[in-house]
Structure 1
Amino acid sequence: MEERKDILKRVYLVYICCCFLALAILSRVFVIQFSQGDYWKAEAKKFMNKEQYIEAVRGNIFATDGSLLATSLPYYQIGIDPLANKNIDDSQFEDSAKGLADGLARILDIHAASEYLKTLLSARARGLRYQQLARNVTYNQLQSIKKLPLFRAGQFKGGFVFEQTNHRARPFRMLAGRTIGYISDSGKVKVGLEGAFDSILTGVRGKKVMQKIAGGVWKPLNNENEIEPQQGRDIVSTIDINIQDVAENALLNSLIEHNAKYGCVVLMEVETGKIRAIANLTRKDSGVYVEDLNYAIQDLEEPGSTFKLAALLVGLDDGLIDLEDKLNLENGEHTYFDRVMHDAERPRANNVTLLEAFEESSNVGISKAIVAAYSKNPKKFTDGLHRLSFGSNYDLQIPGAGKAYIKNAGDDKWTGVSLPFISIGYESLITPLQTLTLYNAVANNGIMVKPMFVSEIREKGKTIKTFDTEIINPAIVKHETIVKARTLLEGVVKNGTAKNLNSLFYPVAGKTGTARIAKGKGYGKSRNEITYQASFVGYFPANNPKYSCIVVVNAPSGDVYYGGKVSGPIFKQIADRVYATEMDIHTPINSTVNKNAEIPFIKYGSMKSTLLALQGLAVSINNKQATTSDDFVKVITTGKDVSFEKINPDQQLSNGIMPDLSGMGIGDVLFLLENRGYRVKLKGCGSVTKQSILPGQPINKNSDLIVELSI
């Protein structure tokens, strides 16, 4: 009996414990279901659903004429949920899949229809809820694919799933490639306009919900986005695509011809600072030239003779030198302490003016002028160089600009030969764009403007911000100094090292430069060891500058390495193209009237035609009322005026008499004679000088008249 009671106690105890456990479980279920339900549902969704950011379509980069320099093209990844439609069996799915496979093979032209069909049937057989079918599908292809069997039913009935990505494209490929720039996949490397205006171009990201399905694969829950992305804004660059094409091709052809290491070209609008063309080409190991580095804005090199303008600007502005100062070039060789300075070529004459020394780019002449002016106070010279704002960083719109270095008098590295060698472009490091900006200021009457790469920002086609011209320095030197500087630069093209750039159609001003490139602690001694940098920088038209341009070619091989011979022709090709296509820089042919011009020779002929020509030339006519428009006239010149004398060849021909044809043009001769049935044979062109039937002799229609003309 006691044993039975003991067993019952144990049973009751277990029963009570089970009841308490059940109550605890029930209470926990109640709490989870009703008090914490929303929380745990949200936690579950984290494992089954997630939000994914959608990158916005990146804004476009336009050339100044609206041409696309960079744009984002939409591409799509497409797939299928083969179990989406519960109302079709395997046989119906296979029938539709055959049509889908045929369509994919035809539209995408990647795999055969049999491969697509095999993939579709295998995915359904394995119970997959998502099977990728293709990537990098274009928009037009996507629209065609949407019409195929299964897919035409949409996502929920046909299982069609697609996801958009955007690929950056440059329609003109390499053209201005480095300036347009790029952003690396990681987003850490930002180059050119793409990098500088990344926040403008990027836009605002959207969101979409992704669902986790069998196999740990994530697929879009809906084809619609939860939050639509906002497209980035567009920027309009200052690049003129036509000039850019000319600049890049001219540079490329020259680099190939001279087997040069690299080169760059920049064309700038004088008044605004807008960069109309910028090309940077580097030779790769394969021998192919590509846009690799932006040498124009970041390549720091000793500029050589193009720096001589800066040196003379300082001396002229300080009043310590003048264009007519006399110099002795010493046969192109002068010693400064332990270093001998040479001219590139033996001078034509030793005793020259400063202007002539500059025209011939004499190192000896320029350095002697500067040393004579500043040897007792070299700091005044280097301060003057900085006063020009020469070599400033300019805070450009694109990153990566090189920081110029101009040695200061008193620096630890200053030596006894620093002053003369700085004056001819050594012991300083300057980028091509910084050099161009100085020359552009001379062309712009002393006003230095900031180089501009982007002119405006647009949103949905509307301009929301414009960039105005920024003035770096309103007057780099006095006006009279600018006048003298322009005389120097025009002289180089008219009489000096750039005579090959002299144009019959428009005047050019500029300076050649041929600099040795430093290697380690020296420049090399033999021709095989020495590497040169050839450059030309100038502006045109010289009498009314509209554009400035710099061309730099690094390490041209062979015997041709002078700036005027290597870089000058590139400048000329670009300038010729710009001048030929831009009417605004032409001087109108009727803008001035030369009142002292002689009246040209005037043929005898129709009064109507002669009067029209003379009125167009603004020639005064004394007695035009004495004749009618149908008369033939002989023009008599009296000083600066003319008068008409009526002649009657018609009347003479009516009487069978040969008139005097002397001085008549071909048109009038044929009009008079052939209209009346006479046979005329012409020799030459111009006006009549001789006729086979003399004036006053009888003529009949069976006669052949031979007329000889002046040319």
Structure 2
Amino acid sequence: MFGLIALVFCGLIARTAYIQVISPDELRKQGDLRTHRQLSDDVLRGMITDRNGLELAISVPVNTVWADPAQVIEKNVLSKDREWRALADILDTDVDQLKQRVAANPKSRFVYLARHVSPAMADYIKNLNLYGVYLRPESKRYYPAAEVNAHVVGITNIDDHGIDGIEKLFDDSLTGESGKKNILRDAHGRVIEVLSEQAAKEAKNVTLSIDQRIQTLAYQELKKAVQYYQADSGSLVALDVNTGEILAMVNNPSYNPNNRKGISPSVMRNRAITDTFEPGSTLKPLAVISALEFGSIKANTVINTSPGWIMFGGRRVRDPINRGELSIAEILQKSSNVGTTKLALSLPHEQFLDAFYNVGFGSDTGTGLIGESAGIFYDRRRWSDFELATLSFGYGLSVTSLQLAQMYSVIGNGGVRRPLSILKLDKPHEGERVFSQKASEELLKMLETVVDDGGGKNAAVEGYRVAGKTGTSRKAVAGGYGNDYVGLFAGVAPVSNPRIALAVVINNPKGDVYYGGDVAAPVFSAVMGGALQILNIPNDKNSNDDIQLASVKGDRSSAY
């Protein structure tokens, strides 16, 4: 008996020595797991607002439902059929599948049952008193304006990380950083000591340049036009001429980011910055301003377009009819291909091509938006006369809706190009003069006649002087051009002191009405008129004052 007792004590002494001397770290670790805890102080994702502080994306409190399978199996909770059926009903799922999800791995300590349930649903689930089923507070992104801002604001995934649009572009700023606190608890779960603490880093809000009032108006008008003309899609961009801020950017079709069931990737595409097209006659002002800059023409020059066509080898550039002698303004009014061809060929091709680079074609606009296309503008040494001719009336290159709006903002800004911004600016970015003040003034006067006396009459805005240009381009297909069209209108207003540049693109309208002056110009008129009133810009229709283009003194002194 004494020998047996001595053997037991020797074993205990050996075990104690092993624990205390040879292998103490593992048991310390096990002890820490039972007493040390790390608490997380989560921060809500930052808000996205428009330039006036209106919320475009906010985080709302929700709950995640999860289960501890080990506890559920241990207490035989799955036998409570009534409670599990109630849980399955509120989560809109099959009760057998719900139970199977819990029972699939009995030793597991965590399994999701549902994400982002509302507070009311969470209260109902809590009252079911299912042992081993718990709630965890989380946040969910909510978009008050839904489809109106979907393409600009973007969306987050189920873990609240940005995956598109502004949500992705500024994800780091919007996310912030959760606080952490390491504590020591006793056997009853009471906090004994705070071992270390790291303060939370608050998320930042993002203020966009978008004016939600103009954005909503633009989306409504664009949606009506796309549906009425049964078009494939449409895009609209409005810019502040003075600052380069984007006041509105909308597309149709759109989607509801608050309900993403059945959404296709094509609908989520921000067409205003990703889709390119040949801009057609909306680019004819570039041929005019290039010739004015070079000095090959003056504002009162008359161009003979007879006999209404020009041959380049075996290729022909033509007008619908022989328009004879046309002034420069009439070339824009009547949208003469022969007229702009003669202007383009009247100056060195480097001078003409520089105009395209100067307004930003072939490069991004400076917004940094995800997915933005630079368009297509070929950089080659040799250009044939026919290629230069087609460039003069908007073929042979591809641009985005945003780039087209930028071109007209440069004209309205007195020839000064500024990087565009999707964020509200305290101070405009420094501009670069690319055209002279005089040439820009003269061109703007000519473009005003397009709306007053030319094909852009449907773009007129009551009480305001409007300058702009229509465009109707055929869509390219393999081997040439098909029978699908893009209807366009782009312009600026008010002419006496330009404030807004606006571009409207209607892609592939169906039926007999497809010209830009018919399908895009009315949208331009409605949105431009509403935007001018929203911004309280005074009428100038009866003003006899000289045109005062938006510019700053520093820009005027750098004119060449």
Structure 2 length-normalised TM: 0.78
Following the alignment from structure 2 to structure 1, what is the Cα–Cα distance between the partners of residues 112 and 409?
A: 58
Following the alignment from structure 1 to structure 2, what is the Cα–Cα distance between the partners of residues 77 and 288?
A: 26
Question: In the alignment, what sits opposite 1:314?
Answer: 290
Following the alignment from structure 2 to structure 1, what is the Cα–Cα distance between the partners of residues 45 and 173?
A: 9
2:321 to 329, 336, 346: 346
1:203 to 176, 191, 198: 176
Alignment of 1:281-680 (within 5 A): 281-282=252-253, 291-330=267-306, 332-343=308-319, 345-346=320-321, 349-371=323-345, 373-374=346-347, 377-408=348-379, 410-411=381-382, 414-455=383-424, 468-473=427-432, 475-523=433-481, 529-586=482-539
Question: In the alignment, what sits opposite 1:461?
Answer: none
Following the alignment from structure 1 to structure 2, what is the Cα–Cα distance between the partners of residues 288 and 408?
A: 35
Q: 1:288 to 1:401 in 2, by over 3 A?
A: closer
Indicate the SS of the match to 1:66. coil
Displacement of 1:382 in angstroms is 1.6
Displacement of 1:207 in angstroms is 5.5
Q: 1:127 to 1:260 in 2, by over 3 A?
A: closer
Confirm or deny: 8 A CA contact 1:247 1:265 kept in the other structure.
yes
Question: In the alignment, what sits opposite 1:167?
Answer: 140
Confirm or deny: 8 A CA contact 2:150 2:254 kept in the other structure.
no
Alignment of 1:14-163 (within 5 A): 26-27=13-14, 29-33=16-20, 36-42=23-29, 56-78=43-65, 110=90, 136-139=116-119, 142=122, 161-163=134-136
Displacement of 1:401 in angstroms is 1.8
Confirm or deny: 8 A CA contact 1:282 1:290 kept in the other structure.
no
Following the alignment from structure 2 to structure 1, what is the Cα–Cα distance between the partners of residues 125 and 508?
A: 54
Q: 1:336 to 1:504 in 2, by over 3 A?
A: same
- Structure 2: which amino acid aligns with 1:498? G
Moved more, 380-389 or 398-407: 380-389
Structure 1 length-normalised TM: 0.62
Displacement of 1:48 in angstroms is 11
Say whether residues 1:241 and 2:212 are aligned partners.
yes
Question: In the alignment, what sits opposite 1:637?
Answer: none
Confirm or deny: 8 A CA contact 1:450 1:469 kept in the other structure.
no
How many residues in Structure 1 have an aligned counterpart in Structure 2?
513
Q: 1:150 to 1:533 in 2, by over 3 A?
A: closer
Following the alignment from structure 1 to structure 2, what is the Cα–Cα distance between the partners of residues 515 and 590?
A: 35
- Structure 2: which amino acid aligns with 1:370? A
Following the alignment from structure 2 to structure 1, what is the Cα–Cα distance between the partners of residues 358 and 241?
A: 20
Confirm or deny: 8 A CA contact 1:493 1:500 kept in the other structure.
yes
- Structure 1: which amino acid aligns with 2:417? M
Indicate the SS of the match to 2:216. helix
Confirm or deny: 8 A CA contact 1:454 1:467 kept in the other structure.
no
Following the alignment from structure 1 to structure 2, what is the Cα–Cα distance between the partners of residues 530 and 48?
A: 75
Indicate the SS of the match to 1:335. strand
Moved more, 315-324 or 488-497: 315-324
Structure 2 unaligned regions, length at least 5: 183-188, 256-261, 546-560
Question: In the alignment, what sits opposite 1:645?
Answer: none
- Structure 1: which amino acid aligns with 2:171? D
Confirm or deny: 8 A CA contact 1:388 1:477 kept in the other structure.
no
Q: 1:52 to 1:517 in 2, by over 3 A?
A: farther
Alignment of 1:259-270 (within 5 A): 259-270=230-241
Confirm or deny: 8 A CA contact 1:275 1:453 kept in the other structure.
yes
Following the alignment from structure 1 to structure 2, what is the Cα–Cα distance between the partners of residues 189 and 418?
A: 43
Displacement of 1:416 in angstroms is 3.9
Q: 1:505 to 1:261 in 2, by over 3 A?
A: same
Q: 1:228 to 1:591 in 2, by over 3 A?
A: farther
Following the alignment from structure 2 to structure 1, what is the Cα–Cα distance between the partners of residues 115 and 167?
A: 26
Return the index of the structure with the highest Cα Rg: 1
Confirm or deny: 8 A CA contact 1:282 1:289 kept in the other structure.
no
Over the matched positions of the two proteins, sequence identity in percent amounts to: 27
Following the alignment from structure 2 to structure 1, what is the Cα–Cα distance between the partners of residues 541 and 408?
A: 27
Following the alignment from structure 1 to structure 2, what is the Cα–Cα distance between the partners of residues 149 and 186?
A: 26
Displacement of 1:291 in angstroms is 5.0
Confirm or deny: 8 A CA contact 1:267 1:277 kept in the other structure.
yes
Displacement of 1:169 in angstroms is 1.9
RMSD: 4.6
- 1:200-224 deviation line (CA, Å, top 9, x unaligned): 0011135699xxxxxxxxxx999x9
Following the alignment from structure 1 to structure 2, what is the Cα–Cα distance between the partners of residues 330 and 46?
A: 92
- Structure 2: which amino acid aligns with 1:492? V
Q: Tell me: higher relative CO, structure 1 or 2? Use CA pairs within 8 A at least 6 residues apart.
A: 2
- Structure 2: which amino acid aligns with 1:72? S
Confirm or deny: 8 A CA contact 2:496 2:540 kept in the other structure.
no
